Structure 1
Amino acid sequence: MKAKYFRNRVAAIFWNGDNNLQFKNLRYLPRWMVIAIDLFIAICSFYISFLIIDNLNSTFYKVLSLFQQGLFIVLVYLSSFFVFSTYSGLIRHSTFVDVFKIAIACTSTLLVVIAVNYSYYYLFDQKVFLMPFLFVNTTITFVALLSFRLLVKRMYSLVSQSKLESYNVLIVGVNDDSIALAEALSTSKNQNFNLAGFISFRKDHQRIKILGKPIIKYGSKFYDRIAPMKITGIIIAGSQLSITQKNELVDKALSNNLKIFNVPEITQWTDKEDVTSKIKEIQIEDLLERDSIHLDDSQISSYLKNRNVLITGGAGSIGSEIVRQVSTYKPDCILILDQAESPLYDLELELKEDFPEVHYEVILADVRCRERLQQVFEAHNISVVFHAAAYKHVPMIEKNPKEAVAVNILGTVNLADLSAQYNVDRFVMVSTDKAVNPTNVMGASKRAAEIYVQALQQKDNVTTKFITTRFGNVLGSNGSVIPYFKRQIENGGPVTVTHPDIIRFFMTIPEACQLVLQAGTMGNGGEIFVFDMGKPVRIMDLAERMIKLSGFKPYEDIDIKIIGLRPGEKLYEELLSDSSTTLPTHHKKIMIAKDKALDHQTVLIHVEEISNAAISENDVYIVSKIKQLVPEFISKNSVFELLDKKVNL
């Protein structure tokens, strides 16, 4: 306890204290400072060596004065420091190579001084330096230089450890990933994870030790057995557990106040990084009961290679990920179109760094402006359009139906018409499960867009393949529930849920975009592809688990409040309408919804009426026109429910 108190006091004084050193702002000792300290050590070593030899009643030669001898030896040391670059490495990460450099520098200095000493002797028959003194001085200098580096390493370690929370951990599994992680932890520079043992699901492992650490059988008495070991965390390495096993393990560990950490498979590690940087606290995204989607991208690659690809909404969460994924397939040019200036600029900087070999055209434009879009199509021979630009926040669009018409409907009409006019090969629209039996303006506007591109496909002389992709909520997208809950938890709560029984489908952004690319290559035109989203997630359960994963107790440390359904919100989302049937594809995660396409002229009349209505400021009138095109649009928890009552009368 005393040692720990002393360590923390040192850290407080030198790391956080109001002092002039401010070590926390000094990432490493500058080279000039290392050289200056080494030079000072060489001077002190000379003086100490002199005192030792002088006390032995030895007589120094008088050719040079003591000051001149010291100056000469120190200058030789300084030259050796530069020649062998003893100052070049980070002192806090000194290795055997750095020790070897110091030894070579000291030895070289000794040999140079001996050579000068005997050269002078052969020329003038007298020596300049006392030989015992030279050997003593070399030894003391080497030990002092080495001690300085060890001291810096130790101080840095003390300060770093005082700032990091230390965990006594068990690693799940006894396989290559687990053992590699254990070996990495034992040699890691950051000692915030102390390996206490392994967890096995097999009985035959219990009598074995790995790296001197026990293997503990996971079972009903597991937590009683590890209680004396003072375990504070569990690390899950790789993907050895199924989602069900992982959830069971996490739930029980959280109920026993243990932290849960994740580390990727060994194939994702690199030699350049400390493995502890890969160990992260487990996130709610890791626990959703759904299998990851893996695609054979050879078809995507052959299709996108050497083509010009236009991606609208390219700075958004979905659009930007489509940009990143398309970048890996060596297109001739990627046109990134968005009206959000700052996110578009940030994405451009990111892409220049991550994909310097790919040619990008960053276009600041709005899908509502048909003339601007036409300039883009005229200037580039576009082969593929991924249309991800849309307004998507349900409560916001419910209050502003005019904007939903302008962007989600007419913006799609503009792009689809131009794609057909300029003979674009494929037009892939990103839609949403909220378009199925919509209960809000946002979902209805996306359904209207689906209807239009399907109808346009039926028009004579249209060669473009119009393809719609439909999926649910994506994890981590702008405005999604998980980042929103995280902010509420960080602020101390409460976490707000609209209804205790509300459920949603979830998918990661990369997986959703992979499926968009895959579906885009599969379609023959006119299809609506729906994705297997796995099991739906109860949002109340999601909130409770996120609170637990953050180290708090639901309803005690962080409260959960029911605030009521938002305008246009429904308890569950669907991927298929009542009138739809599905057909399988060669990918088990992708299905085709068979919605009957309407005549293009009929749809065009509806779109024109919606467009004319949007010129007015009458939201009810605008929504009434959308309902005529999308008859299954039944408003819920909204001022527009009045329109449905009138129809029923």
Structure 2
Amino acid sequence: MLKKLYNLFGSISDLPRYVKQFAAVICDFSLTIISFWLSFYLRLDEFIKLKENTLTSALALAVLAVLVFWISGFYKTIFRYSGKSALSSISLAIGIYGLLTIILITIYGISGVPRSIGIIHPLVLFFLVYVSRLFVRYFLDGNFFLKNNKSSQSRVIIYGAGAAGRQLISVLEDAREMKVLGFIDDNLQLQNKLINGMMVYSVKNLDYLIKSKDVSHVLLAIPSANRSKRIEILDKIKKYKVAVITLPSFSDIIKGKISTSDIKELDIEDLLGRDQVLPNQDLLNKNVKNKTIMVTGAGGSIGSELSRQIIKLDPKELILIDISEHSLYKIYSELEQIKLKIEKQLIITPIIASIQDEVRIENIIKTFRPNTLYHAAAHKHVPLVEENICEGLNNNIFGTLKIAKIAFSYEISDFVLISSDKAVRPTNVMGVSKRISELCLLAFAGENKHKTKVSLVRFGNVLGSSGSVIPKFKDQIKKGGPVTLTHPEVTRYFMTASEAAQLVIQAGALSQGGDLFILEMGKPIKIKDLIKKIISLSGLSIKDKDNPDGDISIEITGLRPGEKLYEELLLGQNPKSTIHPKIQKVEDPYMNWRELKPHLLSLEKLIEASDVKEILKILKKIVNEYEINNNIVDHVYKFKNNK
């Protein structure tokens, strides 16, 4: 029965805002008439029938009340969150209305209405309106049902008693799913004091609080803290079986008040202990501001983030190229919304195209004449490229070469290739294809006289990207495990998409032509340790031989074909520093164009013939460091050879 009522009231709360506002107007109109009638009872100590003149007065006052409430902004209040915060808005609206009734009834007088009604009526109306809002809060928002099912509420401690934490108290007391038990704060001056009725405890009390108060979640309300500070706090929390939730960064919430929608799962980057360096604005602007920019692979993880960063830098026009119409439409729609929000006037043009279609790409570049081209289009998923070798090479090598040649012929000012740390001593086809695309650009740029400045930017894994394992880990944890890991010793470099995109833009601006840059990625992360942290900070425990009753197990599946235990960014050379602390320049050896061209012609013919074994040999000739994987898993090759 309770569940049916809860669903009924829940469906009412999901109605459009204007419908709920109209319902509130009707409610207040009715309550004004009822309160006017009750005022007569309180004055005369008996119920009376409203006669024609008093009924007309009641209706007129009801219209007046609704107008005053509307003009005072009372109906802008979100009624389902109208707890203590609604008291002030109700007081203001009825205070104004009460002043008008005193003037109309008590001072001037209305025929048939006792003058004292001018004072009694607003007080009764205040009571009825406030009770109506409490009803909304406890029934339409589901709090009545939650009180009868307390297990559904998360028991939360807020870490941080600053401005963000204090705002959260007033928000969460009106929300349906969280019960706040107190604050934790490092500030000695705040400890053992009450803030909004909640005690502020020392970090030393964390163990006692979590165990005695049955805490299920710790909410980090320290948006201005840098990542190192957040890591320090997480290290204190991770040994307890509690989930950690957080607020976005200070810059994300500074423009408005905090709401429950701001609360989110812990960002994985919070586990990496890496603080982002503020970008050099001059470098960001140099190749973008007031220019026409083209991004290939614009719907992918890096391409889409590049586009988000570019749109904020005042380009004249942004051309989005992608072969996937779904991905292209998604980023185009998002950018149009961002454009409206930040009030930019630029033109955004989404174009469906394959970088392998030379005629189509030339037509696009000839038409739009971009000043800067960021080439992010590539097949990057290591196992899939290993299983589709010919397509991977066609796209990553020859697609890149085609678009570069067109860019050079139309004298695009800057061409920036997005490369990968997997290009260094590659053990898989994806990695060797990225290394050969680097060699092609360096050789072609060095051989030909042209006005285009070519730069290559090499970096590691991007957090949350479409090919990243971290979303997979989180999904496996949500499903109850196990979490699959290929090898217990595997390590990877990680960087946030926003930081990678900003550094790519800045690196391109540093280029003098034919430069290879690497991004400083910090320390490599052991993936098994990262999985343990994600499990722990989800409020769960690891299930292993030492803890057979744990929640989530880690299953070792073995390295996949072409997978490395660790990645590198350098072939061994000493990198040269640049004016940016996170961007370094390297000078890798490369073949000249005359030497490289015959190999590429041979490779192209072997791809047409799908001769995978010979293809791998040619790849080895071009990139001597490439370690051929004799266990060929390419689907077409396997099918042909299993006949």
| Same fold by TM-score greater than 0.5 | yes
Structure 1 residues 71-80 or 162-171, which shifts more?
162-171
* Contact 1:31/1:88 (<8 A) preserved: yes
Change (3 A) 1:144 1:291: closer
Letter paired with 2:136: V
Change (3 A) 1:49 1:292: closer
Which residue of 2 is the match for residue 88 of structure 1?
Answer: 75
Which residue of 1 is the match for residue 327 of structure 2?
Answer: 343
Which residue of 2 is the match for residue 25 of structure 1?
Answer: 14
Map of 1:251-266 to 2, 5 A cutoff?
Answer: 251-264=235-248, 266=250
Secondary structure of the residue aligned to 1:223 is helix
Which residue of 2 is the match for residue 567 of structure 1?
Answer: 561
Structure 1 residues 454-463 or 136-145, which shifts more?
136-145
1:206-255 alpha-carbon deviations (Å, 9 max, x no partner): 97646486665546x86358755655544444477776664454244232
Matched, 1:639 2:632: yes
Change (3 A) 1:161 1:294: farther
CA distance in 2: counterparts of 1:210 and 1:55, whole angstroms: 45
Letter paired with 1:602: E
Secondary structure of the residue aligned to 2:207 is helix
CA distance in 2: counterparts of 1:343 and 1:420, whole angstroms: 28
Shift of 1:169: 1.5
Matched, 1:300 2:292: no
Shift of 1:469: 0.6
Which residue of 2 is the match for residue 627 of structure 1?
Answer: 620
CA distance in 1: counterparts of 2:358 and 2:618, whole angstroms: 22
Secondary structure of the residue aligned to 1:188 is helix
Change (3 A) 1:492 1:441: same
Which residue of 1 is the match for residue 27 of structure 2?
Answer: 37
Secondary structure of the residue aligned to 2:542 is coil
Which residue of 1 is the match for residue 444 of structure 2?
Answer: 456
Shift of 1:407: 0.5
Map of 1:37-116 to 2, 5 A cutoff?
Answer: 37-52=27-42, 55=45, 66-86=50-70, 88-90=75-77, 91-92=79-80, 93=82, 94-109=86-101, 111-112=103-104
Matched, 1:606 2:574: no
1:284-335 alpha-carbon deviations (Å, 9 max, x no partner): 3211143323321222213321111111101111001111111111112111
Which residue of 2 is the match for residue 378 of structure 1?
Answer: 366
CA distance in 2: counterparts of 1:30 and 1:475, whole angstroms: 41
Which residue of 2 is the match for residue 590 of structure 1?
Answer: 583
Which residue of 1 is the match for residue 168 of structure 2?
Answer: 185
CA distance in 1: counterparts of 2:39 and 2:203, whole angstroms: 62
Which residue of 1 is the match for residue 547 of structure 2?
Answer: none
Change (3 A) 1:22 1:40: same
CA distance in 2: counterparts of 1:209 and 1:142, whole angstroms: 34
1:86-105 alpha-carbon deviations (Å, 9 max, x no partner): 47333443352333223433
Which residue of 1 is the match for residue 6 of structure 2?
Answer: 15
Which residue of 2 is the match for residue 646 of structure 1?
Answer: none
Change (3 A) 1:149 1:491: closer
CA distance in 2: counterparts of 1:522 and 1:496, whole angstroms: 41
Change (3 A) 1:133 1:575: closer
Change (3 A) 1:41 1:225: closer
Which residue of 2 is the match for residue 429 of structure 1?
Answer: 417
Paired residues, what number? 607
Letter paired with 1:420: F
Change (3 A) 1:342 1:280: closer
Which residue of 2 is the match for residue 4 of structure 1?
Answer: none
TM-score (norm 2): 0.85
CA distance in 1: counterparts of 2:298 and 2:592, whole angstroms: 31
Shift of 1:461: 1.6
Which residue of 1 is the match for residue 540 of structure 2?
Answer: 552
CA distance in 2: counterparts of 1:446 and 1:545, whole angstroms: 32
Shift of 1:266: 4.6
CA distance in 1: counterparts of 2:144 and 2:39, whole angstroms: 36
CA distance in 1: counterparts of 2:106 and 2:221, whole angstroms: 57
Shift of 1:401: 1.1
Letter paired with 1:14: L
1:336-361 alpha-carbon deviations (Å, 9 max, x no partner): 11111111112111111111422122
Map of 1:271-310 to 2, 5 A cutoff?
Answer: 272-310=256-294
Matched, 1:543 2:514: no
Which residue of 2 is the match for residue 313 of structure 1?
Answer: 297
TM-score (norm 1): 0.85
Which residue of 1 is the match for residue 570 of structure 2?
Answer: 576
CA distance in 1: counterparts of 2:223 and 2:118, whole angstroms: 61
CA distance in 1: counterparts of 2:172 and 2:429, whole angstroms: 55
Q: Which has the larger radius of gyration?
A: 1
Structure 1 residues 541-550 or 185-194, which shifts more?
185-194
* Contact 2:156/2:219 (<8 A) preserved: no
Structure 1 residues 149-158 or 67-76, which shifts more?
149-158
1:2-52 alpha-carbon deviations (Å, 9 max, x no partner): xxxxxxx96x45323xx5884443466623322322333234334434445
* Contact 1:15/1:24 (<8 A) preserved: no
* Contact 1:311/1:335 (<8 A) preserved: yes
Change (3 A) 1:73 1:529: same
Unaligned runs of 5+ in 1: 1-8, 119-126, 173-177, 642-649
1:566-612 alpha-carbon deviations (Å, 9 max, x no partner): 1111111111124x442222222222221123211221221111111
Matched, 1:333 2:323: no
Unaligned runs of 5+ in 2: 544-549, 635-643
Which residue of 2 is the match for residue 366 of structure 1?
Answer: 354
Shift of 1:628: 2.0
Shift of 1:56: 6.7
Which residue of 1 is the match for residue 638 of structure 2?
Answer: none
Letter paired with 1:397: V
CA distance in 2: counterparts of 1:509 and 1:609, whole angstroms: 37
* Contact 2:386/2:633 (<8 A) preserved: no
CA distance in 2: counterparts of 1:342 and 1:226, whole angstroms: 45
Secondary structure of the residue aligned to 1:360 is strand
CA distance in 2: counterparts of 1:81 and 1:224, whole angstroms: 52
Structure 1 residues 586-595 or 304-313, which shifts more?
586-595
Which residue of 2 is the match for residue 483 of structure 1?
Answer: 471
Which residue of 2 is the match for residue 199 of structure 1?
Answer: 185
Change (3 A) 1:184 1:129: closer
CA distance in 1: counterparts of 2:297 and 2:21, whole angstroms: 48
Shift of 1:396: 1.0
CA distance in 2: counterparts of 1:253 and 1:300, whole angstroms: 38
Change (3 A) 1:635 1:95: farther
CA distance in 1: counterparts of 2:472 and 2:566, whole angstroms: 19
* Contact 2:228/2:274 (<8 A) preserved: no
Structure 1 residues 505-514 or 554-563, which shifts more?
554-563
